[in-house]
Amino acid sequence: MFQRSNVAHISNKKEGCWTPLSILSLFVIRAKIAYSHGIPHPKYRNVALFSAGAFILNLVTAMSYVLQMIEEGEHQTQDFKMRVDNARKIAKTIVAFANSEGGRLLIGVKDNGGIVGVRADEEVHIIELACQSHCKPAVAFEAQVWKADGRSVLEIRVPRSAARPHFCEDEKGQWQSYLRQEDRIHRATPVQVKVWQYEMRMDRSEFRYDQHIGKLFAAWRNGRELAFRQVARMGRLTFTDAEDLLCVLVVWRIVAWQRGPKGLTYALTDANALDELETHGPESFRWKNYS
């Protein structure tokens, strides 16, 4: 099937720039106010009042939008790169954004927020190569060029993907999936990959309940946070079956994963939903849309 280019649009904007006309107007207005020793002449009162509002508005506008973004620092949905010269490596960041909440990549910016600038056309070419050839499935993106401090900053916007999970090649040539948490990238576990795969499906894997699963549920009700191996051992499950169980419980929003000092653990998030599952079975959950 033919697929349109991933690049929705590439635009170029200058933020906070003073045009010659605006500078000339400012000098004229200042001259008029100075001529009256700071007290606007009745003839120029409206002009002076307008100029004060316009001057303040220009000051606000001069705080460039891209500078505001940089001021936020790196976080869950934003990352800085001085430059991009390796399509395979940058694919990891792109995949992590697409698999998580989406995000933006500001290229031409140091980790400390300093602006070094880039040649945007070259960087866009590498990003497109990464999204098309080093991500499976391909990842869509939009590009925007900003001007700040006389330099170009390239913004790459990657939306949260409905085609998750996305994979990219690691250093050994193996295809891996990644997610982003705060300002860090983590390799996705098999459970997380299955959750993404099942979220877009109407049917769910079979759910089996027995006394061992009951003990597992009781542990969660008592507030325990369990690692993957603990779940498998307590539920008397193979690793594959434990992955499937955790997957449906996460998709059904009964259990959630969290990353802490002990690594990745799973904890109860909705006791009422767990009661419903134990009482009425999985049918009330299986056909819900959780995407």
Choose one of 142, 171, 200: the last residue of a domain: 171
Choose one of 62, 77, 94: the last residue of a domain: 62
Same domain flag for 27 and 107: no
Q: Judge whether 182 lies within some domain.
A: no
Same domain flag for 266 and 197: yes
Same domain flag for 136 and 196: no
For residue 205, what pLDDT is reported? Answer: 56
Same domain flag for 75 and 161: yes
Same domain flag for 24 and 93: no
Instruction: Let me know: does 194 contact 172? Beta carbons within 8 Å.
Output: no
Which pLDDT tens digit goes with each residue over 79-89? 999 999 999 99
Residue 131 CB neighbour total at 10 angstroms: 26
User: Does 1 have pLDDT greater than 50?
Assistant: no
pLDDT band at residue 20 using 50, 70 and 90 as cut-offs: very low
CATH number for 206? 1.10.10.10
Number of domains present in the structure of the chain: 3
User: Does 29 have pLDDT greater than 80?
Assistant: no
**pLDDT, mean over the chain:** 80
Choose one of 171, 205, 221: the last residue of a domain: 171
Q: 1 is written with which tokens?
A: 């099937």
Which pLDDT tens digit goes with each residue over 125-159? 999 999 999 999 999 999 999 988 889 999 999 99
pTM above 0.75, yes or no: no
Instruction: Let me know: does 190 contact 242? Beta carbons within 8 Å.
Output: no
User: Does 3 have pLDDT greater than 70?
Assistant: no
Q: Judge whether 239 lies within some domain.
A: yes
Same domain flag for 29 and 94: no
Same domain flag for 109 and 80: yes
Same domain flag for 118 and 150: yes
Domain that holds residue 85: 7-11+68-171
Instruction: Let me know: does 64 contact 124? Beta carbons within 8 Å.
Output: no
One DSSP character per residue, the chain reads -----SEEEEEEEE-SPPPHHHHHHHHHHHHHHHHTTTS--GGGHHHHHHHHHHHHHHHHHHS-HHHHHHHT-SBTTEEEES----HHHHHHHHHHHHHTT-EEEEETB-TTS-B----HHHHHHHHHHHHHHSEES---EEEEEEEETTEEEEEEEEPPPTTPPPEEE-TTS-EE-EEEETTEEEEPPHHHHHHHHHHT-SS-------HHHHHHHHHHHTT--EEHHHHHHHTT--HHHHHHHHHHHHHTTSEEEEEETTEEEEEES-HHHHHHHHHH-THHHHT----
Same domain flag for 200 and 266: yes
